[in-house]
A and B are shown apart, each in its own frame.
Chain A
Amino acid sequence: MSDETLLSDDFLRQITAAGEVDILVGVPTLNNHDTIARVISAIRVGFVKYFPRDRAALINVDRGSNDGTPEIVKSAAVPDFRAFLASSPLRSMNTLTTTHGAMQGKGGALHVILAAAELLRAKACAIVSPDLESLTPEWIEALTRPIYREGFDFLAPIYQRHRFGGLLVSHILSPLVAAAYGCEIEEPLGGELAFSGRLASHYLSQDVWQLELMRSAPEIWMVTTALVGEYRLCQAFLGPKVHSANPANPDLPVTMQQVVGALFSCLEAHQSYWMNHEGPRTVPSFGFQYDLDLPSIRVNRKRMQNMFLKGVQELASILEPALNPATLEQIREIARIDCEDCRYPDDLWVRTVYEFAGAFHRSVINRDHLLQALTPLYLGRINSFLIENHRSSADGARERIKKLRSEFESLKPYLAERWNAQT
């Protein structure tokens, strides 16, 4: 059941006026003045183009913008659909807006969207990032159709990425989810996702909304909760993901703390499931996947290597209680080797992540400090990955990631061992 005290009177009035809907798209915003008009427009065109006979609603939950974002959403004109379509929409489109305290983070906004989805009896709900520059009406169709027409409960995105894009996802999040939960989800942290009304009610019934993990990375909790609940999952290829540059985005250590911390917290909440669960579970994928020639990127590998060396040298007091002595010794050996020959092998990286997960579970030191201490080691691993793959194609890099994922899966018993270890 949704918590109606969560919703303001004005927002409840808007929900009552809208009645029931088939498809709902939620857009949580926070100072997205530059991109929000385009995102709203793409969603509306998506509704009209792909669901002209269905009841659709767009919900904007603003987390306290001070750049006029809510005003832009409210005043955004309905596009002249004749420019895009042969026919006009057959149904009216609802746009509902509300504000929610910034203190609750992304999870707070999501909570409001879920509560509204339940009251509106939405059959399919999607969440879209407000700062996307690459969002097209086709994304709305790709996100919601498998839920609305095919009966799936949760849809995770697949993006077209540069071979060195999303490295935290490919080196920790995705393989750890695959190994622990036995399900290969490429983007467990995708900002764009969709779920059924049934799953929305299940999410709402969980007592997690005040937890830290919901503030910054609720997507991970949503994916893993759907997996644990044995809901029907699928993935859909959306295309390239381009976000607008936002100076307020957190830096790597904070991202590491929030995102990896959220996944470790999920492992803690679901330990009875993953300890006894055997994979793999197949997840169907929708959409035609293609590769684009993305421009090459410049990477400061020397800086990464320096940070790795400094981390290994200076953070001994944190690494010693977190890591197995043999693992730490191997890492120290890598740190002694010259930058160009430095290799952080797959099995060592997997053991590092699993040992950090165990240390997190046992709270060997302050958890935020522990997660931040993983940053230099991650940079060491990424540096090694870049050296190994600087000449390889997108397919070659993908193969390496698959190999890493297999390593995560084959070493799953070690995760359980470290998780249950006393010291």
Chain B
Amino acid sequence: MGDFIAKSLIQTLHTFSQMVTQFLPRLLAMIIIVVVGWVVAWLAKVILPRILNLVRFNSLFVRAGVAQVLTKAALPNPSELLARLVFWVLWITFILFGLEALQIVALQEEISGLFRILPQIFVALVILFAGVLIANFVSRATLLAAVNANSPSPRLVSTLVRFVIIALTVTMALERVGLGRGVVLIAFSSFFGAIMLGLALAFGLGGRDLARQVLERRFLEEKKEEDQGISHL
């Protein structure tokens, strides 16, 4: 009996050491691929904008009006944006190759599944891009409006607006790639509802007096002062 247990243990240990011996080189290969990928992607990110600047890549987009759209949304110029895109595409590609090198069947199936939903991923990326554009634009407009209205916490308000728009966009993008469809939607709805409820309670219960003061100052005192104030035009 004891012999049998010892034999089994030795057998298991042997199998395990064989698996580790087989797996370690693959893991090492994966790490090397990922690191090399990062270096290649980083080099591309550094070199590409310089090459694009030499060929006046940005001016093409200025003429087409694309650069202005990016500027309005507080995004970098087209060459910088392309360089960032190339960085991520290259690095993600190398990561996928690295995972392939592990030769884990389940993982390989997942990766091939990932390639199948590539069109959806592209649409999701477009949604994300549009969302970031809108979030940047709206949050900056909110910040300006809050500063010019002399509101107490302009940056907080603008960050909150940006966060909500990006959260909504991420939800839509995940919905597009079919990742936990119902769960994502429910999570977002619950999360958004919780924030609103929390804010309502915080402001309603915790800040009743403050709210009254803010409203009075906004609509009564300032009105009175502005009526007697200087004229700008």
State the A residues within 8 Å of B (CB). 162, 164-169, 189, 245, 251-253, 255, 259, 297-300, 303, 306-307, 310-311, 314-315, 317-318, 363-366, 369, 372-373, 375-376, 382, 386
Most buried by A among B71, B147, B232: B232
Question: What's the minimum C-beta distance from A163 to chain B, rounded to whole angstroms?
Answer: 10
Known contacts A317-B74, A366-B137, A166 near B150 by CB under 8 Å: no
Known contacts A303-B150, A317-B140, A168 near B71 by CB under 8 Å: no
Tell me if B155 is interfacial: C-beta within 8 Å of chain A. Answer: yes
Tell me if B68 is interfacial: C-beta within 8 Å of chain A. Answer: yes
The answer, among A259, A300, A303, A373, for a CB contact under 8 Å with B144, is A373
Contact B229 A299 (CB under 8 A): yes
Contact A369 B141 (CB under 8 A): yes
The answer, among A165, A166, A315, for a CB contact under 8 Å with B147, is A315
Contact A298 B233 (CB under 8 A): no
Tell me if B228 is interfacial: C-beta within 8 Å of chain A. Answer: yes
Contacts of A255 in B (CB 8 A): 232-233
Listed by A's residue number, 15 A-B pairs whose Cβ atoms lie within 8 Å are A162-B230, A169-B233, A252-B232, A253-B144, A255-B233, A259-B233, A310-B150, A314-B155, A318-B144, A365-B140, A366-B71, A372-B145, A372-B148, A375-B148, A376-B148
Tell me if B231 is interfacial: C-beta within 8 Å of chain A. Answer: yes
Known contacts A253-B148, A315-B147, A373-B144, A363 near B233 by CB under 8 Å: no
Contacts of A167 in B (CB 8 A): 230-232
Contacts of A372 in B (CB 8 A): 144-145, 148
4 other contacts beyond A298-B228, A365-B72, A376-B147, with CB at 8 A cut-off? Answer: A255-B232, A317-B140, A365-B71, A386-B230
Q: Which of B44-90 contact A (CB under 8 A)?
A: 68, 71-72, 74
Contact B150 A307 (CB under 8 A): yes
Most buried by B among A251, A369, A375: A369
Contacts of B222 in A (CB 8 A): 300, 303
Contact B71 A314 (CB under 8 A): no
The answer, among B71, B154, B227, for a CB contact under 8 Å with A310, is B154
Tell me if B95 is interfacial: C-beta within 8 Å of chain A. Answer: no
Q: Which of B98-136 contact A (CB under 8 A)?
A: none
Question: What's the minimum C-beta distance from A399 to chain B, rounded to whole angstroms?
Answer: 18
Contacts of B143 in A (CB 8 A): 314-315
Task: Give CA–CA (A382, B148) in the complex, Å.
Answer: 15
Contacts of A369 in B (CB 8 A): 72, 140-141, 144
Tell me if B225 is interfacial: C-beta within 8 Å of chain A. Answer: yes
The 4 closest A-B pairs by CB, nearest first: A168-B232, A366-B72, A298-B228, A253-B148
Contacts of B72 in A (CB 8 A): 365-366, 369
Task: Give CA–CA (A372, B144) in the complex, Å.
Answer: 7
Contacts of B230 in A (CB 8 A): 162, 164-165, 167, 297, 299, 382, 386
Question: What's the minimum C-beta distance from A304 to chain B, rounded to whole angstroms?
Answer: 9
Contact A363 B147 (CB under 8 A): no
Question: What's the minimum C-beta distance from A217 to chain B, rounded to whole angstroms?
Answer: 10
Question: What's the minimum C-beta distance from A349 to chain B, rounded to whole angstroms?
Answer: 15
The answer, among A165, A251, A365, A373, for a CB contact under 8 Å with B74, is A365
Known contacts A314-B155, A364-B71, A252 near B229 by CB under 8 Å: no
The answer, among B68, B74, B141, B233, for a CB contact under 8 Å with A166, is B233
Q: Report B198-233 CB contacts with A as 1/0, cut-off 8 Å.
A: 000000000000000000000000100111111111
Contacts of A245 in B (CB 8 A): 227
Question: What's the minimum C-beta distance from B200 to chain A, rounded to whole angstroms?
Answer: 25
